[in-house]
Amino acid sequence: MAGFTGPEDTSRLKKQFDHSKKQYEQEKYQKIAQKHVPKASIFRNSLNAFLMGGLICAVAQALFNLISSAGFTVKEANTIVAVIMIFLGAFLTGIGIYDSIAKVGGAGAMVPITGFANSIVAPAMEFKKEGYIFGIGARMFSTAGPVLVYGIVTSIIVGLIAFTIM
Amino acid sequence: MKLKEVNKVSLLWAFLIGGAICLAGQLIMDLTPYEISTGHVLVGYVTLGALASALGLYQPLVDIGGAGATIPLSGFGHGLVQGVLSSIKNQGIMGVFMGGIAANAAGIAAAVIFGYIMAVLFNPKG
Protein backbone atom coordinates (compact mmCIF):
# COMPACT_ATOMS: atom_id res chain seq x y z
CA MET A 1 0.00 0.00 0.00
CA ALA A 2 1.22 3.43 -0.81
CA GLY A 3 1.63 5.58 2.20
CA PHE A 4 1.28 9.33 2.42
CA THR A 5 4.61 9.96 3.99
CA GLY A 6 6.80 11.93 1.59
CA PRO A 7 6.39 15.62 0.79
CA GLU A 8 6.05 14.63 -2.94
CA ASP A 9 2.89 12.76 -2.14
CA THR A 10 1.37 15.74 -0.41
CA SER A 11 2.17 18.08 -3.29
CA ARG A 12 0.83 15.53 -5.79
CA LEU A 13 -2.36 15.17 -3.82
CA LYS A 14 -2.63 18.94 -3.55
CA LYS A 15 -2.23 19.23 -7.34
CA GLN A 16 -4.88 16.57 -7.92
CA PHE A 17 -7.18 18.29 -5.49
CA ASP A 18 -6.67 21.68 -7.16
CA HIS A 19 -7.23 20.12 -10.55
CA SER A 20 -10.51 18.45 -9.61
CA LYS A 21 -11.60 21.59 -7.78
CA LYS A 22 -10.97 23.58 -10.96
CA GLN A 23 -12.87 21.00 -13.01
CA TYR A 24 -15.76 21.08 -10.56
CA GLU A 25 -15.91 24.86 -10.69
CA GLN A 26 -15.78 24.84 -14.47
CA GLU A 27 -18.64 22.36 -14.63
CA LYS A 28 -20.59 24.43 -12.15
CA TYR A 29 -19.97 27.54 -14.21
CA GLN A 30 -21.01 25.80 -17.40
CA LYS A 31 -24.22 24.60 -15.77
CA ILE A 32 -25.01 28.15 -14.66
CA ALA A 33 -24.09 29.48 -18.09
CA GLN A 34 -26.33 26.91 -19.77
CA LYS A 35 -29.19 27.96 -17.55
CA HIS A 36 -28.86 31.64 -18.28
CA VAL A 37 -27.49 32.22 -21.78
CA PRO A 38 -30.11 30.35 -23.84
CA LYS A 39 -33.01 31.92 -21.95
CA ALA A 40 -31.69 35.40 -22.59
CA SER A 41 -31.06 34.69 -26.26
CA ILE A 42 -34.44 32.98 -26.68
CA PHE A 43 -36.09 36.13 -25.39
CA ARG A 44 -33.99 38.36 -27.64
CA ASN A 45 -34.53 36.10 -30.68
CA SER A 46 -38.29 36.15 -30.08
CA LEU A 47 -38.38 39.92 -29.73
CA ASN A 48 -36.30 40.36 -32.88
CA ALA A 49 -38.51 37.92 -34.81
CA PHE A 50 -41.63 39.74 -33.65
CA LEU A 51 -40.27 43.17 -34.61
CA MET A 52 -38.82 42.11 -37.96
CA GLY A 53 -41.86 40.03 -38.96
CA GLY A 54 -44.17 42.81 -37.88
CA LEU A 55 -42.16 45.41 -39.78
CA ILE A 56 -42.17 43.40 -43.02
CA CYS A 57 -45.93 42.81 -42.75
CA ALA A 58 -46.56 46.48 -41.96
CA VAL A 59 -44.61 47.46 -45.09
CA ALA A 60 -46.78 45.03 -47.09
CA GLN A 61 -49.92 46.49 -45.50
CA ALA A 62 -48.81 50.02 -46.42
CA LEU A 63 -48.35 48.84 -50.04
CA PHE A 64 -51.78 47.20 -49.88
CA ASN A 65 -53.42 50.42 -48.64
CA LEU A 66 -51.69 52.41 -51.37
CA ILE A 67 -52.70 49.98 -54.12
CA SER A 68 -56.30 49.51 -53.01
CA SER A 69 -56.74 53.28 -52.75
CA ALA A 70 -55.72 53.39 -56.42
CA GLY A 71 -58.92 51.48 -57.20
CA PHE A 72 -57.89 47.82 -57.24
CA THR A 73 -60.05 45.12 -55.60
CA VAL A 74 -58.84 43.35 -52.45
CA LYS A 75 -57.91 40.24 -54.46
CA GLU A 76 -55.96 42.23 -57.05
CA ALA A 77 -54.23 44.32 -54.41
CA ASN A 78 -53.21 41.18 -52.46
CA THR A 79 -51.72 39.68 -55.62
CA ILE A 80 -49.80 42.85 -56.52
CA VAL A 81 -48.46 43.18 -52.96
CA ALA A 82 -47.29 39.54 -52.98
CA VAL A 83 -45.49 40.07 -56.30
CA ILE A 84 -43.79 43.25 -55.04
CA MET A 85 -42.73 41.62 -51.74
CA ILE A 86 -41.32 38.61 -53.61
CA PHE A 87 -39.39 40.96 -55.88
CA LEU A 88 -38.02 42.87 -52.86
CA GLY A 89 -37.03 39.65 -51.07
CA ALA A 90 -35.28 38.30 -54.16
CA PHE A 91 -33.55 41.60 -54.96
CA LEU A 92 -32.35 42.23 -51.39
CA THR A 93 -31.00 38.66 -51.31
CA GLY A 94 -29.18 39.27 -54.59
CA ILE A 95 -27.41 42.40 -53.36
CA GLY A 96 -26.58 40.70 -50.06
CA ILE A 97 -28.74 42.78 -47.71
CA TYR A 98 -31.32 40.11 -46.85
CA ASP A 99 -28.60 38.02 -45.19
CA SER A 100 -28.13 40.73 -42.58
CA ILE A 101 -31.90 41.13 -42.19
CA ALA A 102 -32.21 37.37 -41.59
CA LYS A 103 -29.33 37.39 -39.09
CA VAL A 104 -31.17 39.93 -36.95
CA GLY A 105 -34.75 38.87 -37.59
CA GLY A 106 -34.45 35.07 -37.60
CA ALA A 107 -37.86 33.57 -38.25
CA GLY A 108 -39.18 37.12 -38.54
CA ALA A 109 -37.27 37.39 -41.81
CA MET A 110 -37.80 33.80 -43.02
CA VAL A 111 -41.54 33.26 -42.45
CA PRO A 112 -42.83 36.22 -44.53
CA ILE A 113 -43.01 35.74 -48.29
CA THR A 114 -39.79 37.80 -48.65
CA GLY A 115 -38.07 34.94 -46.82
CA PHE A 116 -39.60 32.48 -49.27
CA ALA A 117 -38.01 34.52 -52.08
CA ASN A 118 -34.75 34.49 -50.13
CA SER A 119 -34.91 30.70 -49.84
CA ILE A 120 -35.11 30.56 -53.65
CA VAL A 121 -32.34 33.01 -54.54
CA ALA A 122 -29.74 32.20 -51.86
CA PRO A 123 -29.06 28.51 -52.75
CA ALA A 124 -29.45 29.21 -56.48
CA MET A 125 -26.74 31.89 -56.27
CA GLU A 126 -24.50 29.71 -54.16
CA PHE A 127 -24.63 26.74 -56.54
CA LYS A 128 -24.44 28.77 -59.75
CA LYS A 129 -21.06 27.17 -60.48
CA GLU A 130 -22.80 23.82 -60.93
CA GLY A 131 -24.43 25.24 -64.03
CA TYR A 132 -27.57 26.99 -65.11
CA ILE A 133 -29.73 23.87 -65.15
CA PHE A 134 -28.70 21.77 -62.15
CA GLY A 135 -27.08 24.67 -60.30
CA ILE A 136 -29.57 27.53 -60.54
CA GLY A 137 -32.55 25.69 -62.02
CA ALA A 138 -32.63 22.86 -59.50
CA ARG A 139 -31.32 24.62 -56.38
CA MET A 140 -33.93 27.39 -56.64
CA PHE A 141 -36.38 24.82 -55.31
CA SER A 142 -34.33 23.20 -52.54
CA THR A 143 -36.66 24.86 -50.00
CA ALA A 144 -39.38 26.30 -52.25
CA GLY A 145 -39.99 22.82 -53.73
CA PRO A 146 -41.01 21.19 -50.44
CA VAL A 147 -43.12 24.26 -49.62
CA LEU A 148 -45.00 23.98 -52.93
CA VAL A 149 -45.36 20.20 -52.60
CA TYR A 150 -46.84 20.27 -49.10
CA GLY A 151 -48.97 23.35 -49.79
CA ILE A 152 -50.46 21.90 -52.98
CA VAL A 153 -50.90 18.39 -51.57
CA THR A 154 -52.68 19.72 -48.47
CA SER A 155 -54.94 22.01 -50.51
CA ILE A 156 -55.91 19.19 -52.90
CA ILE A 157 -56.70 16.79 -50.05
CA VAL A 158 -58.83 19.51 -48.44
CA GLY A 159 -60.48 20.10 -51.82
CA LEU A 160 -61.27 16.41 -52.32
CA ILE A 161 -62.83 16.18 -48.87
CA ALA A 162 -64.85 19.34 -49.48
CA PHE A 163 -65.92 18.04 -52.90
CA THR A 164 -67.22 14.75 -51.49
CA ILE A 165 -69.06 16.51 -48.64
CA MET A 166 -70.64 19.02 -51.02
CA MET B 1 -63.31 56.79 -39.20
CA LYS B 2 -61.61 58.53 -42.08
CA LEU B 3 -59.67 56.49 -44.61
CA LYS B 4 -56.35 57.75 -43.23
CA GLU B 5 -57.19 56.55 -39.74
CA VAL B 6 -58.37 53.18 -41.07
CA ASN B 7 -55.08 52.84 -42.90
CA LYS B 8 -53.04 53.68 -39.80
CA VAL B 9 -54.94 51.15 -37.68
CA SER B 10 -54.49 48.51 -40.39
CA LEU B 11 -50.71 49.04 -40.24
CA LEU B 12 -50.73 48.43 -36.50
CA TRP B 13 -52.79 45.24 -36.83
CA ALA B 14 -50.60 43.97 -39.67
CA PHE B 15 -47.55 44.60 -37.48
CA LEU B 16 -49.04 42.81 -34.46
CA ILE B 17 -50.49 39.77 -36.27
CA GLY B 18 -47.51 39.39 -38.60
CA GLY B 19 -45.10 39.80 -35.71
CA ALA B 20 -46.96 37.23 -33.60
CA ILE B 21 -46.95 34.66 -36.43
CA CYS B 22 -43.19 35.12 -36.88
CA LEU B 23 -42.56 35.01 -33.13
CA ALA B 24 -44.29 31.62 -32.98
CA GLY B 25 -41.93 30.35 -35.69
CA GLN B 26 -38.89 31.60 -33.78
CA LEU B 27 -40.07 29.91 -30.58
CA ILE B 28 -40.59 26.64 -32.46
CA MET B 29 -37.01 26.86 -33.74
CA ASP B 30 -35.48 27.81 -30.37
CA LEU B 31 -37.46 25.59 -28.01
CA THR B 32 -37.45 22.33 -29.98
CA PRO B 33 -34.60 20.16 -28.71
CA TYR B 34 -33.58 18.82 -32.13
CA GLU B 35 -32.38 20.83 -35.10
CA ILE B 36 -35.17 22.61 -37.00
CA SER B 37 -34.18 24.41 -40.19
CA THR B 38 -36.05 27.30 -41.76
CA GLY B 39 -37.14 24.86 -44.47
CA HIS B 40 -38.99 22.80 -41.86
CA VAL B 41 -40.61 25.94 -40.48
CA LEU B 42 -41.72 27.13 -43.93
CA VAL B 43 -43.21 23.74 -44.86
CA GLY B 44 -44.92 23.57 -41.46
CA TYR B 45 -46.37 27.05 -41.91
CA VAL B 46 -47.77 26.35 -45.38
CA THR B 47 -49.36 23.10 -44.19
CA LEU B 48 -50.75 24.55 -40.96
CA GLY B 49 -52.02 27.63 -42.81
CA ALA B 50 -53.81 25.40 -45.31
CA LEU B 51 -55.38 23.26 -42.57
CA ALA B 52 -56.40 26.30 -40.50
CA SER B 53 -57.94 27.81 -43.63
CA ALA B 54 -59.90 24.62 -44.32
CA LEU B 55 -61.36 24.75 -40.81
CA GLY B 56 -62.29 28.40 -41.28
CA LEU B 57 -59.80 29.57 -38.68
CA TYR B 58 -57.48 31.57 -40.92
CA GLN B 59 -59.94 33.97 -42.60
CA PRO B 60 -60.69 35.79 -39.31
CA LEU B 61 -56.95 36.35 -38.90
CA VAL B 62 -56.82 37.86 -42.41
CA ASP B 63 -59.84 40.04 -41.64
CA ILE B 64 -58.05 41.49 -38.61
CA GLY B 65 -54.42 41.45 -39.67
CA GLY B 66 -54.60 42.00 -43.43
CA ALA B 67 -51.08 41.68 -44.82
CA GLY B 68 -49.98 40.55 -41.35
CA ALA B 69 -51.79 37.27 -42.08
CA THR B 70 -51.41 36.99 -45.87
CA ILE B 71 -47.67 37.78 -46.12
CA PRO B 72 -46.38 35.06 -43.74
CA LEU B 73 -46.16 31.71 -45.53
CA SER B 74 -49.22 30.40 -43.69
CA GLY B 75 -51.08 32.93 -45.86
CA PHE B 76 -49.86 31.05 -48.94
CA GLY B 77 -51.43 27.84 -47.60
CA HIS B 78 -54.62 29.81 -46.93
CA GLY B 79 -54.57 31.18 -50.49
CA LEU B 80 -54.14 27.67 -51.93
CA VAL B 81 -57.06 26.22 -49.97
CA GLN B 82 -59.38 29.17 -50.61
CA GLY B 83 -58.52 28.99 -54.32
CA VAL B 84 -59.44 25.30 -54.38
CA LEU B 85 -62.66 25.75 -52.38
CA SER B 86 -63.92 28.68 -54.43
CA SER B 87 -63.26 27.05 -57.79
CA ILE B 88 -65.00 23.79 -56.74
CA LYS B 89 -68.24 25.80 -56.88
CA ASN B 90 -67.82 26.60 -60.57
CA GLN B 91 -65.69 23.77 -61.91
CA GLY B 92 -66.44 20.82 -59.65
CA ILE B 93 -63.74 18.17 -59.44
CA MET B 94 -61.52 20.05 -61.91
CA GLY B 95 -61.53 22.96 -59.49
CA VAL B 96 -59.85 20.74 -56.88
CA PHE B 97 -56.84 20.46 -59.18
CA MET B 98 -56.86 23.92 -60.76
CA GLY B 99 -58.08 26.33 -58.10
CA GLY B 100 -55.10 26.43 -55.75
CA ILE B 101 -52.39 27.19 -58.25
CA ALA B 102 -54.66 29.42 -60.35
CA ALA B 103 -55.39 31.64 -57.34
CA ASN B 104 -51.67 31.96 -56.57
CA ALA B 105 -50.32 31.88 -60.12
CA ALA B 106 -48.92 35.42 -59.98
CA GLY B 107 -47.01 34.77 -56.77
CA ILE B 108 -45.57 31.46 -57.96
CA ALA B 109 -44.61 32.94 -61.33
CA ALA B 110 -43.06 35.99 -59.63
CA ALA B 111 -41.04 33.75 -57.30
CA VAL B 112 -39.70 31.75 -60.26
CA ILE B 113 -38.86 34.65 -62.56
CA PHE B 114 -37.48 37.08 -59.96
CA GLY B 115 -35.64 34.25 -58.23
CA TYR B 116 -34.07 33.20 -61.52
CA ILE B 117 -33.13 36.72 -62.60
CA MET B 118 -31.51 37.60 -59.24
CA ALA B 119 -29.62 34.29 -59.08
CA VAL B 120 -28.24 34.89 -62.59
CA LEU B 121 -27.36 38.54 -62.01
CA PHE B 122 -25.79 38.38 -58.55
CA ASN B 123 -23.15 36.30 -56.80
CA PRO B 124 -23.00 35.41 -53.11
CA LYS B 125 -20.96 37.74 -50.90
CA GLY B 126 -17.75 36.51 -49.36
Cβ distance of A46 and B124 shorter than 8 Å:
no
pLDDT at site B126: 64
Q: Which residues of chain A fall short of a pLDDT of 70?
A: 1-7, 33-40
Q: What is the ipTM of this complex?
A: 0.93
pLDDT at site A29: 78
| pLDDT more than 70, % of chain B | 97
Could you state, in order of their start, the residue ranges of all structural domains in chain A?
Answer: 21-126
Mean pLDDT of chain B: 93
Which candidate from B19, B43, B117 shows the least CB-CB separation from A150?
Answer: B43
Q: pLDDT tens digits for B26-85? A: 999 998 888 888 899 999 999 999 999 999 999 999 999 999 999 999 999 999 999 999
CA distance B16 to A22: 49
Cβ distance of B88 and A166 shorter than 8 Å:
yes
| Selected residues 29-88 of chain B with any CB under 8 Å from a CB in chain A | 29-31, 38-39, 41-43, 45-47, 50-51, 53-54, 65-68, 70-77, 80-81, 83-85, 88
CA distance A22 to chain B (A): 30
By C-alpha distance, which of A144, A74, A95 is closest to B38?
A144
CA–CA distance from A43 to each of A46, A158, B25 (Å)? 5, 36, 13
CA distance A50 to A108: 6
By C-alpha distance, which of A138, A146, A99 is closest to A118?
A99
Q: pLDDT tens digits for A29-40? A: 777 766 655 666
CA distance B91 to B77: 21
CA distance A103 to A83: 24
Q: Which H or E run includes A83? A: helix A74-94
The answer to whether A140 and A122 have CB atoms below 8 angstroms apart is no
